[in-house]
Amino acid sequence: MPLDPNDNYTNSALRIGDVDPYPQRAVGEFIGTVVSNEWVNDEYMHVVLKVHPHALRAYAGQMFHLLCPSPDGAEVWMRRPMSVYRVDKDAGHVEFLYKCEGRGTRGMATLQPGDDFNIAGPLGHGFTLEPAWRNIVVLGRGVGLATLAPLSQLAAENNVGVTAILSARNPGVVMSRELFEGLGAKTITVLDSDGSSAVENVEKILEGLIADKKADAFFTCGSNRLLKLMQRLGKKHNIPGQVAMEQIMVCGFGACYVCMRTFEVDGKRVLRRVCRDGPVFDMREAVGW
């Protein structure tokens, strides 16, 4: 029977149980089913999706581009980029931790168990671990912790020890501690509310970890001042590092050049696309913002 030409487009997203016509492709469009979507504190929600197995190839630091529902009936233009928070291969789940702030994420907050949710990905280059690294330090703030959290999974799979320094405004918005600790990471919480998140204090903690040989590599996301701190200490002690960058995106796969940022490579300024060349980059080359 001849196909309706529109069949090639309108039904291209894979649902759970669909036969995958292009198993070799890296990226796909998927319609997942919402398993749960719950508040974790006053600002952040955690959504769990059951997805086609192809989507479970996502690894730490990669992202999906989400087709968010409308919070108010009017159109939500453009997909929204979101880091993978957790991949549970046994359950067939992909999870996101998100800050509910604009129209897209407020639309996501309306999702109920059983609803469809369209996600495209996994996109970009995520975190990598060198075989020589036995202990890493992860330093994140705010929603950056959602991006860094799956590193604990990657590190556990590779027998790498993790110290995670979680920075937050107050104890009510500290996130991902359970996920890090559940996978064997040691966590240190630093807060604005008691002053412990001050750069000088975080620097002391990092210097202590370096002295204890717990810092073969640095990882960060979510704060310019923490990025600058890790860059400075990385240079001083010759410690390599990676940073997950955020930038407003449109296409998410390298075509539109909306997400360009400046990097410094061998003393020269170069422009790179965060979606395609990143979102994870060599920390030494990041210029910050």
Ligand X SMILES: Cc1cc2nc3c(=O)[nH]c(=O)nc-3n(C[C@H](O)[C@H](O)[C@H](O)COP(=O)(O)OP(=O)(O)OC[C@H]3O[C@@H](n4cnc5c(N)ncnc54)[C@H](O)[C@@H]3O)c2cc1C
Query: Are the C-beta atoms of 71 and 53 separated by less than 8 Å?
Result: no
In the bound state with ligand FES, the residue whose beta carbon lies nearer, of 39 and 257, is 257
**Least distance (Å) from ligand FES to the CB of residue 79?**
10
**What Cα–Cα distance (Å) separates residue 150 from each residue in 13, 57, 70, 115, 156?**
25, 13, 28, 25, 10
Which of ligand X, ligand FES, none is residue 257 near (CB under 5 to 8 Å by kind)?
ligand FES
37: exposed, middle or buried (C-beta count within 10 Å: 0-12, 13-18, 19+)?
A: buried
**Least distance (Å) from ligand X to the CB of residue 153?**
15
DSSP letter string, 76-100: --S-EEEE--EEETTTTEEEEEEE-
**Least distance (Å) from ligand X to the CB of residue 276?**
11
Which of ligand FES, ligand X, none is residue 216 near (CB under 5 to 8 Å by kind)?
none
**Least distance (Å) from ligand X to the CB of residue 143?**
4
Separation CA 23–CA 42 (nearest Å): 40
Binding stretches for ligand X (CB under 6 A): 63, 80-83, 96-99, 101-105, 143, 146-147, 246-249, 279
Nearest alpha carbon to residue 143 among 169, 117, 125: 169
**Least distance (Å) from ligand X to the CB of residue 148?**
10
Query: Are the C-beta atoms of 138 and 151 separated by less than 8 Å?
Result: yes
Residue with token string 């080359």: 285
> Residue of minimal CB distance from ligand X?
102
Which of ligand X, ligand FES, none is residue 272 near (CB under 5 to 8 Å by kind)?
none
**Least distance (Å) from ligand FES to the CB of residue 274?**
6
Q: What is the 3-state secondary structure (H, E, C) of 96-112?
A: EEEECCCHHHHHHCCCC
In the bound state with ligand X, the residue whose beta carbon lies nearer, of 205 and 260, is 260
In the bound state with ligand X, the residue whose beta carbon lies nearer, of 119 and 146, is 146
In the bound state with ligand FES, the residue whose beta carbon lies nearer, of 35 and 251, is 251
Nearest alpha carbon to residue 43 among 169, 151, 193: 169
Which of ligand FES, ligand X, none is residue 113 near (CB under 5 to 8 Å by kind)?
none
Return phi, psi of residue 75, to 5°.
-65, 140
In the bound state with ligand X, the residue whose beta carbon lies nearer, of 99 and 284, is 99
Binding stretches for ligand FES (CB under 6 A): 249-252, 254-259, 273, 275-276
Nearest alpha carbon to residue 239 among 149, 130, 151, 140: 130
Which of ligand X, ligand FES, none is residue 104 near (CB under 5 to 8 Å by kind)?
ligand X
Separation CA 216–CA 234 (nearest Å): 10
Which of ligand X, ligand FES, none is residue 26 near (CB under 5 to 8 Å by kind)?
none
**Least distance (Å) from ligand FES to the CB of residue 244?**
15
